[in-house]
Amino acid sequence: MLSRTLYTTLLYATSPLIFSLLLKTKKGKPPVGNRWKEFVGICPELTNSKKPIWVHAVSVGEVIAATPIINALQQHYPELPLLITTTTSTGAERVEALSGNIEHRYFPADYPCAIKQFIARMQPSLCLIMETELWPNMLTICENKNIPTIVVNARLSEKSQQKYQRFQSLFSAPLQKINHILCQDEDDQHRFKTLGLNPDKLSVTGTVKFDIQFSDDIINQGLLLRQQLGQQRAVIIASSTHKGEDEIVLAAFEKVKLQHANALLILVPRHPERFDDVTALCSEKFPCTLRRSHTRLTDDLSNTDIYVGDSMGEMPILLAASDICFMGGSLIGDKVGGHNLLEPAALSKPCITGPSYYNFADVTAQLLNSNGAAVINNEIELANKINELISQPDTAIEMGLQAKHVVDKNKGALTRIMQKLTDLIDQIIAPTQSK
């Protein structure tokens, strides 16, 4: 049995390893630099003297999901500062692009001394945890300091549920200290109940990721890129691919090219440190390979076979320029569990995924049931599905429309989430801020 005392002891004992991972410089990722002290709770005080609402979002994906909530909080409470924490530097970069009364700090490692020092310096009035980033010491100390904690847009896969059950002696008490959990769907709610959470602390609000809105500027940039790539050709995007998956995608694309010689593949690796290696791999098979970061708006890309998406934060633009989307992280066993199909679905793109999508089981199931997505198991099935959709454009269009319909009918989570949050803020935070 792993108690919190033993867990904390192991944390301190493995500090060199933890910090080597946190501070390791990777290709394509901005360095942490002299901000490393923030990981032990030593961080600059906030410029606004009022107690902030603390929003913790681990990395880029969570920051994107949190952005509508952040914007809504600023509209409801323009006088309250927002403190956004991330664990990764790419997440920090995404936060820096946000506007308003917002400041970023790195999330301290779960050492009691670091968490206490961070809270003493930041003085948060409430902590909103995006999705399921639950740390035993952090939850315990927040309760001891009378800082309410709410998990927002919470999801709990079967695999994660089993992990928490395996370490029940460690997580049981800290989980009870959470004030409320806003679950994405009823399956998530049920899994939290099996961990012993009080049903009164659980609500189903849907996933805020359905409340997707793309600006006209993003759509127009996508259309402009499509003109560069060529209007009279099929454009397939392989989004968020992982190591070992690029080879499968490229092998499938070779088969596609046998039937559709002018087809183009946009390949977007999940991790920036892999951009160089993936580009080299693509160039071996397809000499006409270009990187987005190496091209200009005036370049003619109509003869390109592979276009490597190596720029951060531009996935919607690349999706908007495409006809068909394959979502990565789903063809390499159960190591990853897939990625979110909602962005291509919101752009009316027919979606293809591998068999491993447990991290987004509910969303993917809805898309499959509506014929807005398809599951393939290997490179041959991937090639066949892409060829089918290219050869039958009406089928591809209808599939994309069905995917968009799933997104539209699930909108509204943001409204439900904000109703819950504003109730708590009005009861606990607003009175103290006005004194």
Write the secondary structure of 402-432 as one string of H (helix), E (strand) and C (coil): HHHHHHHHCCCHHHHHHHHHHHHHHHHHHHH
Which residue ranges in the chain fall short of pLDDT 70?
A: 1, 26-29, 429-435
Task: Determine the CATH number of domain 216-409.
Answer: 3.40.50.2000
Residue 62 designated active-site: yes
| pLDDT for res 435 | 47
| pLDDT for res 430 | 54
Catalytic residue among 62, 245, 314, 343: 62
Average pLDDT score, the chain: 92
Write out pLDDT tens, residues 117-175.
999 999 999 999 998 889 999 999 999 999 999 999 998 988 899 999 999 889 999 99
Write out pLDDT tens, residues 240-271.
999 999 999 999 999 999 999 999 999 999 98
Q: What's 151-194 look like in SS3? A: EEEECCCHHHHHHHHHCHHHHHHHHHCCCEEEECCHHHHHHHHH
Q: Name the helix (H) or strand (E) containing 235.
A: strand 235-241
Q: Name the helix (H) or strand (E) containing 54.
A: strand 53-56
| pLDDT for res 1 | 56
| pLDDT for res 418 | 94
| pLDDT for res 27 | 65
| pLDDT for res 64 | 85
From-to residues of CATH 3.40.50.11720 in the chain: 18-211+412-433
H-type alpha helices, 210-288: 216-229, 246-259, 275-285
Show Cβ contacts of residue 336 under 8 Å, excluding neighbours closer than 6 positions.
242, 329, 330, 356, 359
Show Cβ contacts of residue 125 under 8 Å, excluding neighbours closer than 6 positions.
51, 52, 53, 54, 147, 428, 429, 432, 433
Question: Residue 60 in contact with residue 268, Cβ under 8 Å?
Answer: no
The tokens for 138 are: 């952090």
From-to residues of CATH 3.40.50.2000 in the chain: 216-409
Q: What are the φ and ψ backbone dihedral angles of 93, each rounded to 5 degrees? A: -60, -40
In the CATH hierarchy, which top-level class contains the domain 18-211+412-433?
alpha beta
User: Residue 57's closest CA among 153, 125, 201, 161?
Assistant: 153
